[in-house]
Amino acid sequence: MPEFILRAYIGGIGVALIAGLLGSFVVWRRMAYFSEALAHSTLLGVPLGLWLGLNLNLSALLVCLLLAVLVILIERERGRIPLDTIFGLVAHGTLAIGLLVLSFMEGVRADLMHYLFGDILAVSMSDLAFVFVGGVCLTAALWRMWRPLLLITVDEELARVEGVAVERHRWAFMLMIALVIAVGMKIVGALLMTALLIVPAAAARHIAATPERMAALAALIGCVSVVGGISGSMWWDTPSGPSIVAVALGAFLLVWLSNRLRSTRRARGGTFALRRQA
């Protein structure tokens, strides 16, 4: 196997693992739009990075973190505009401006697709290092914060009364999302990064009875999607992001459908039993 393919697999699996864990929280806390807004904003990081001569991962992370802080601050002061509108505003505003700025940059123009949809062929050793460091930091942070974060997710006021530092954990979690998006952007692309967060988690919801199992299953489904997607992407020469997301969507439909069938069968069995009794 050529080395660049190995790099793609390793990087993709790394992103999928951490995206599964964090993505479950994104689903539980209904923050899909928030992560969408941040993911789209990474496109602004590309011209910024090129302009400042920074590493593109780093500049994407920078913009992501900056926007996360901005969105949290807006969220507090929102007044009359509903939250999902604000997220939409940020998501599409940054996407539009990012695309505009990119269109002015001659050299980048051709690579636009790669930023939007991911580019596995371009996963470098420094990208891998970025995924690795980011992944380790995120896993460690999540490990430490798991219980309080879960309690906040269950009920914020109950958590507050029980002495959990709610504000601090909320901030930390939003910054963690920013980090995972910046890490995954190179592989899945800015447009589809949110899908890697929420689709495996949504699939796992049908087959998990506890939050821990759902997070673990989401990570697993994410890995399967990444491996399947990257393989398909190389076989048919398709962009990696859409391929990965398509496999994840397939996994979701499969789980959902089998779950549906099982529950209707159970329901039918129930009526039979009733009739026999009568």
Q: Which residues bind another protein (CB under 8 A)?
A: 27-30, 147, 150-151, 153-155, 157-158, 160-163, 202, 205, 208-214
* Residue (55 or 259) nearer to another protein, CB: 259
CB of 133 to another protein, least distance (A): 30
DSSP string, the chain: --HHHHHHHHHHHHHHHHHHHHHHHHHHTT-HHHHHHHHHHHHHHHHHHHHHT--HHHHHHHHHHHHHHHHHHHHHT-TTS-HHHHHHHHHHHHHHHHHHHHHH-HHHHTTHHHHHH--GGG--HHHHHHHHHHHHHHHHHHHHHHHHHHHHHH-HHHHHHTT--HHHHHHHHHHHHHHHHHHHHHHH-TTTHHHHHHHHHHHHHTT-SSHHHHHHHHHHHHHHHHHHHHHHHHHHT--HHHHHHHHHHHHHHHHHHHHHHHHHHHHHHHHHHHHHH-
* Residue (157 or 237) nearer to another protein, CB: 157
* Residue (84 or 212) nearer to another protein, CB: 212
* Residue (66 or 151) nearer to another protein, CB: 151
CB of 209 to another protein, least distance (A): 5
* Residue (122 or 150) nearer to another protein, CB: 150
* Residue (210 or 271) nearer to another protein, CB: 210
CB of 23 to another protein, least distance (A): 11
CB of 156 to another protein, least distance (A): 9
Closest C-alpha among 70, 105, 72, 64 to residue 193: 64
CB of 181 to another protein, least distance (A): 20
* Residue (23 or 229) nearer to another protein, CB: 23
CB of 211 to another protein, least distance (A): 6
Q: Which amino acid is at 248?
A: A
Three-class HEC string of 159-222: HHHCCCCHHHHHHHHHHHHHHHHHHHHHHHCCCCHHHHHHHHHHHHHCCCCCHHHHHHHHHHHH
CB of 40 to another protein, least distance (A): 23
